[in-house]
Amino acid sequence: MLVIAHMGMPDYGDFLDICAEHPDVHLDTTMAFTDFTQATSPFPRERMDDLVALGDRVLFGSDFPNIPYPYEHAVDAVRRLGLGEDWERKVLHDNAARLFGIR
């Protein structure tokens, strides 16, 4: 198992491809999608379908408290992608719980 931090930024596409090719590879959302990161290293909108398809292997990450924005902004950044409640629930909780065997 491998979890790639920060969605592999700035090379999002390359790491989405790696994740798609290797079932034991996961991505974490640390700093991705936040206003702070979108200003300098935006997630490519043309890869949103890949993000949805890999929804079972995306994990919420925060690096809290070592981040230049409030913790809640990281959660809001994931939610404002508008990928649906099921996708959000997986990313914000279920995927990590499953991966680490937490009930």
User: Quick check: 99 pLDDT over 90?
Assistant: yes
User: Span 77-87, mean pLDDT?
Assistant: 97
Looking at residue 103, its pLDDT comes to 84
Distance between CA 45 and CA 100 in Å, rounded?
30
User: Span 54-70, mean pLDDT?
Assistant: 96
Token reading at 53: 């398809």
Residue 84: pLDDT band (50, 70, 90) is very high
SS3 28: strand
